[in-house]
Amino acid sequence: MKRFLLMLLLLASPVWAVEPREMLDDPVLESRARDISAGLRCLVCRNENIDDSHADLAHDLRVLVRERLVAGDTNTEVVDYIVERYGEYVLLQPNRDGANLILWYAGPAMALFGLILAIGFIRQQARKRASGEGRPDALSDEERARLQQIMGD
């Protein structure tokens, strides 16, 4: 937490997140700008999008996004334009390509694998009951031996 805070503080210059003078008059364009901003990382911050960031660079990026929108770019074009200039690092949501597929599909794959494993395990131990082995009321060898010992006394 501390390092995160420190980082925030170092960047807490007088400029702060989305400023009135940056905003576009057209509410539709402005809301599109917000949607785009939420997916763009402030490059000098810790995992913050440019909307939430206080940094000067985030301010520049917010202005840039709006300039492109006013120029008539689609959302994808704006993002591509910024990725071209600043690299993949600027995307908070990594592309689903190449090695990133591991990132995206590791969770679902593990869920599926786990589910198959779990069903297999539950079936197997349930079958054991059917065959009488390991019944909840069955005695272990140890217990059977002890029972015999007690009964023998």
Partner 1 sequence: MIVELGHFTLILAFAVAIFQMVVPLVGASRGWPEWMAAAVPAASAQFLLTAVSFAALTFAFVTSDFSVALVTANSHTLKPLLYKISGVWGNHEGSLLLWVLILTLFGAMAAWFGGNLPPRLKARVLGVQSAIGVAFFGFILFTSNPFLRLENPPMNGGDLNPLLQDPGLAFHPPFLYLGYVGLSMTFSFAVAALLEGRVDAAWARWVRPWTLAAWLFLTIGIALGSWWAYYELGWGGFWFWDPVENASFMPWLISAALLHSAIVVEKREALKSWTILLAILAFGFSLIGTFIVRSGVITSVHAFANDPERGVFILFILAFFMGGAFLLYALRAGAMQAKGVFSLVSRESALVVNNLLLAVSAFVVFIGTLWPLLAEIFFDRTLSVGAPFFNAAFFPFVLVLAVALPIGAVMPWKRAGVGRALRVVAPALVPAGAAVLLCYAVFTGHSAIGPLFIGLAVWLVISAGLDLLSRTGRGALGARLARLGRLPRADWGKAVAHTGLGLTIFGIAALTTFASEDIRVARIGESFELGPYTLTLTNVQDVQGPNYASRMGTVEVARDGAAVSTLHPERRFYPVARMPTTEAGIDSGLTRDIYVVLGDPQQGGFALRSYIKPWANWIWGGAIIMALGGLLSLSDRRYRVAAGARKQATRTDGVPAE
Q: Which amino acid is at 89?
A: Y
Q: Does 24 bind partner 1 (CB under 8 A)?
A: no
Q: What is the DSSP string of 116-128?
A: HHHHHHHHHHHHH
Q: Does 147 bind partner 1 (CB under 8 A)?
A: no
Cα separation, 40 vs 75, in Å, equals 12
Q: Please, are residues 51 and 22 in contact by the beta-carbon 8 Å criterion?
A: no
Q: Please, are residues 91 and 48 in contact by the beta-carbon 8 Å criterion?
A: no
Q: With the C-alpha atoms ordered 24, 28, 33, 34, is the resulting torsion angle positive or negative?
A: positive
Site string for partner 1, 34-63 (x = CB under 8 A): ----xx-x----xxxx--x-----------
Site string for partner 1, 91-130 (x = CB under 8 A): xxxx---xxx-xxx-xx--xx--xx--xx--xx-xx-xx-
**Contact set with partner 1 (CB under 8 A):** 1-9, 12, 14, 16-21, 23, 38-39, 41, 46-49, 52, 87-94, 98-100, 102-104, 106-107, 110-111, 114-115, 118-119, 122-123, 125-126, 128-129, 134-136, 140, 142, 146
